Structure 1
């Protein structure tokens, strides 16, 4: 039923435009436009057209299939409901059924290649980049989604399946979406590891951990490869194993002339330990002013993670040194229990397991005026927080939970949204996890909301803007699967973050790396905004424009600026970054 009617790849962009017709003999035939910027391969057999975006390989094997699309179709035909365990890599796949006309969209386990879909009358659209498609869309298809803007303010990004435009949806990580010719769709979660914990001895499991990661790094090394290096556990592991394969491997770090933010010394320690060819760049406030608008507007949708700027500058430095591919360390904390919130929430979970004979009277006592006494106030606060179930409890400090929505947003905007949507979507993902262990469930939640919807969007987009391909060895499917064979109590005994991982690499990584606290490429925007007149002016001018859009209440924006100036530079600096980034993105689409 689907017939390829047109194919173009105009140089030098590399953008591919495929047009299919469901019934080409009809004048009102349904037209499907597939527009992609990721490397793609098109193939077909008697039943399907297949478009493979990104890098696909057989599970447990290296990249390098001569015909990945043909290989995938063989797996799909052989086991259409169980093929997913046989595939690995970082990819998205589009299948067009020639007989039924159904469309099947399939994402990798972490959704590293985005897919947006929309229908408009007899025109259908599938793309991995909204900004490529925007010039060709009718105005109605670019109507802004108020709920997506609210979700952006909650998450600092727009999680799938929502999208910034009302007519579009996004493919979620590890998902298959089937769409028929009427536009009816069904969604199926393909990636839910069984959490079958291994009975092997710790020494064997630690050796296996090192080997599975060593294989993952090796698989992702290409000519002209470099590596991000923040000096943390993950980037140091990747850089070290990269240097094993390629002595003198180039590594790249970002530094800040700001106390509490600069971690370049840790990166230098790792570089010396593994004898990499190390490059540092100290980010300057002027670089934020010069690049803020372009960086914010480059994303397909509003994106508010402030470390995007550091990722872009670092990737740009790597590109200037002849690097075509960068290895990133993202993902390790979310599979080996490295985020502080996992340990913190374990403490709160203890309250739910306390005997009612103890918890009931204690809660009653602390709810009285005695609970206001200094010695008892912490206990009262603990019970109040512990009484909120996961995953909602993790968002207690989200600014949309600290302020009344009516104080933040215009009334006309609030009338278009459901403020409960972000929490409901997080609960749904949390409950999908096959494990009942709260630490495993928090990590499973983070695979989507922290990695797929946020961190990978940030790094992939910024590397693309810099002209570099990025790869994520620590989140190869085999590494994630292996992590799910290690019990949470071993990955995180008590409050010892990354305990299993650290023990696995104790003879490999420098001692200072093993003992350092997690940080990354955090940006001192709030601090610099106080000190740099040019940055203050840029922020003030941008927020004045945002006040006119009917989203935020002008007095809320003014309060955020005042609170930032009064001393809360970190918290309110991040809030201001989110708002400024939103305005820059909106201005790039509708000045």
Structure 2
């Protein structure tokens, strides 16, 4: 847990070591991890982590630090030293030899060079800012903000992306001038010049695959190896257990590897349609786990909201962070220090419902153009266009969505697009943003996968947006706040490689999700779990908005406070809280949550000025100034 930070000054600055201590302390504020620092002339690096979670090295003015459970050629010893030696020969491509979750830095003060990188899945983050007299970097934005020279102005384009995606996707961050690395990416800094590149990318193979029996054997062996690696080390290990295929698979495998009942932890809701505890209990009984349960209430949500806003580097709108936090807290109270999470299984093996839905839309594209353009579309939108019959409405909706190009079709139900940006956003705020940038960014990422099957193109997008910038951030923030480390066996490097070799049909067979995955685990998982539909840790927030006065007051007061920031139109907030959320609590409640978390985050992080744009670093500088 915790993180890595550092700097390289291009001019002499004796304050560097003191600033470094301040930066590192901010990373350990939730778990009190010990801080380890190296300084040499113009450079300094620091790591806040326990003994088995980092590696550092210093020689001849070169400082190196590796944060995370990383290995080099399978060896976890002296990783930083050996990576430095490889870097001297191969430059940033040396990172390709690293495995596991990591954030790394190598700083050469004499040559004015810095290399930064993060792991293949983006489990760890890396932020950086290039300033006229120094380069600042850290695995959290909070670390950079402790330096008085760091930019502290909010980026309105990033805030727009938050309202669009409900998180801020890399490379943007919420602060202007600060950026983040993408999964598998490096940054090379050479005397003021920045170069970004990839040392690794998912290389999908769509050739005819090996026989099922061979693939199954490889998969189970890879899975067992990944869980074994995740469970290694000191401390008690447990597993999230939602009752889905991924968490159930890991819980069973953990018990098999350790030879004793796995400690599993589940969250429930006493609300119809949201509680999945039945499936978690099925898995727990099937694998004989030492099972623990906690039912989250609206009062629990009220207590957790400000805490999650505090632990988040940026505005973050995934409400599932609440149950993840209480699940991790329950595990920590039971003595667990490391939790296995099933994140990544959907994105590697074809588990997201939208994969099947988009496959249905793609069938329309495969019809002969003459049939579509001469018969179907003129009939539906011409002759029958004015008939308001349910079957025709459904057919028109299907064709309209099928005619949209990918990946725009994925955003059909995007809340901001549905409301309309002009209706939601204040005109002053809207004047400073490019409303097409979010979709342009999606298009750019999607175009990088040209030539692949639709399922692999969607999974490549999801590895960035759904996984690295959303689900992994959710689980890691929740676990950090609870004082537990999170590990993700499905994101083991060997598992990534195995997934890349699966054929598209093995991931999505017609509209059957996880086709290979479920066949391979048919003897491992209970039948009800193999057959259940995906649910996840959905929070019944919309329901509680109607039934719990305290939570409603917290949410609506936050939205009223947000009005003064001139980001969201006051009249939209009024319509949302007085009309829309009453008409459809679950649907419009999502936007209430997103706006509430924005205001909660701004209150705790953004600025010392009421408007939210920009902040003043004078307070930090005064605090660090030499005392008389």
Q: Same fold (TM over 0.5)?
A: yes
What does the per-residue CA deviation read over 1:416-436, in whole Å, with 9 as the maximum and x for residues that have no partner?
A: 111111111111222223751
Alpha carbons of 1:367 and 1:211: their partners in 2 closer, same or farther (altered >3 Å)? same
SS at match of 2:187: strand
CA distance in 2, matches of 1:406, 1:254: 38
For 1:552-567, what aligned pairs fall within 5 Å after superposition?
A: 552-567=568-583
Q: Which residue of 1 aligns with 2:385?
A: 371
Q: Retained in 1: the 8 A contact 2:120–2:184?
A: yes
User: Of 128, 140, 148, which aligns to 2:158?
Assistant: 148
Per the TM alignment, residue 68 of structure 1 is displaced from its structure 2 partner at its CA by: 0.9
TM-score, normalization: structure 1?
0.93
Per the TM alignment, residue 182 of structure 1 is displaced from its structure 2 partner at its CA by: 2.0
Q: Which residue of 2 aligns with 1:285?
A: 298
For 1:95-134, what aligned pairs fall within 5 Å after superposition?
A: 95-97=106-108, 100-134=111-145
Alpha carbons of 1:65 and 1:78: their partners in 2 closer, same or farther (altered >3 Å)? same
Structural RMSD (CA):
2.3
User: Of 160, 164, 183, which aligns to 2:174?
Assistant: 164
Q: Which residue of 1 aligns with 2:311?
A: 298
What does the per-residue CA deviation read over 1:23-60, in whole Å, with 9 as the maximum and x for residues that have no partner?
A: xxxxxxxxx5645445432214569432211121246x
SS at match of 1:136: coil
Per the TM alignment, residue 208 of structure 1 is displaced from its structure 2 partner at its CA by: 1.3
Per the TM alignment, residue 410 of structure 1 is displaced from its structure 2 partner at its CA by: 0.4
Q: Which residue of 1 aligns with 2:368?
A: 355
CA distance in 2, matches of 1:78, 1:144: 39
User: Of 504, 511, 515, which aligns to 2:520?
Assistant: 504
CA distance in 1, matches of 2:500, 2:448: 15
Segments of 5+ residues of structure 2 without an aligned counterpart are 1-6, 609-628
User: Of 241, 257, 270, which aligns to 2:253?
Assistant: 241
CA distance in 2, matches of 1:289, 1:2: 42
1:202 equivalent to 2:202? Answer: no
1:575 equivalent to 2:591? Answer: yes
1:14 equivalent to 2:28? Answer: no
Per the TM alignment, residue 99 of structure 1 is displaced from its structure 2 partner at its CA by: 5.6
Q: Retained in 2: the 8 A contact 1:75–1:86?
A: no
Q: Which residue of 1 aligns with 2:68?
A: 54
Q: Retained in 2: the 8 A contact 1:197–1:484?
A: no
Q: Which residue of 2 aligns with 1:193?
A: 203
1:416 equivalent to 2:417? Answer: no
Indicate the larger mover: 294-303 or 564-573.
564-573
User: Of 53, 56, 74, which aligns to 1:42?
Assistant: 56
Q: Retained in 1: the 8 A contact 2:341–2:486?
A: yes
Q: Retained in 2: the 8 A contact 1:33–1:123?
A: no
For 1:436-515, what aligned pairs fall within 5 Å after superposition?
A: 436-515=452-531
Alpha carbons of 1:292 and 1:177: their partners in 2 closer, same or farther (altered >3 Å)? same
What does the per-residue CA deviation read over 1:463-482, in whole Å, with 9 as the maximum and x for residues that have no partner?
A: 01111111000111111110
User: Of 512, 523, 528, which aligns to 2:539?
Assistant: 523
User: Of 386, 394, 397, which aligns to 2:413?
Assistant: 397
Q: Retained in 1: the 8 A contact 2:46–2:65?
A: no
Q: Which residue of 1 aligns with 2:611?
A: none
Alpha carbons of 1:13 and 1:217: their partners in 2 closer, same or farther (altered >3 Å)? closer
Per the TM alignment, residue 132 of structure 1 is displaced from its structure 2 partner at its CA by: 3.5
Q: Which residue of 2 aligns with 1:29?
A: none
Q: Which residue of 1 aligns with 2:622?
A: none
Q: Which residue of 1 aligns with 2:449?
A: 433
Q: Which residue of 2 aligns with 1:28?
A: none
Per the TM alignment, residue 124 of structure 1 is displaced from its structure 2 partner at its CA by: 2.5
Alpha carbons of 1:204 and 1:482: their partners in 2 closer, same or farther (altered >3 Å)? same
SS at match of 1:178: strand
Segments of 5+ residues of structure 1 without an aligned counterpart are 23-31
CA distance in 2, matches of 1:168, 1:231: 39
Q: Which residue of 2 aligns with 1:71?
A: 82
Alpha carbons of 1:422 and 1:16: their partners in 2 closer, same or farther (altered >3 Å)? farther
1:216 equivalent to 2:226? Answer: yes
Indicate the larger mover: 450-459 or 560-569.
560-569
Q: Which residue of 2 aligns with 1:254?
A: 267
Per the TM alignment, residue 189 of structure 1 is displaced from its structure 2 partner at its CA by: 6.0
SS at match of 1:124: strand
Per the TM alignment, residue 567 of structure 1 is displaced from its structure 2 partner at its CA by: 3.1
What does the per-residue CA deviation read over 1:358-378, in whole Å, with 9 as the maximum and x for residues that have no partner?
A: 222132333314234334333
CA distance in 2, matches of 1:289, 1:377: 41
Q: Which residue of 1 aligns with 2:624?
A: none
Q: Retained in 2: the 8 A contact 1:33–1:126?
A: no
Q: Which residue of 2 aligns with 1:228?
A: 240
CA distance in 2, matches of 1:397, 1:526: 17
Indicate the larger mover: 36-45 or 244-253.
36-45
Q: Retained in 1: the 8 A contact 2:45–2:65?
A: no
User: Of 523, 535, 538, which aligns to 2:551?
Assistant: 535
CA distance in 2, matches of 1:135, 1:99: 25
Q: Retained in 1: the 8 A contact 2:476–2:486?
A: yes
TM-score, normalization: structure 2?
0.87
Q: Retained in 1: the 8 A contact 2:92–2:199?
A: no
Alpha carbons of 1:409 and 1:17: their partners in 2 closer, same or farther (altered >3 Å)? farther
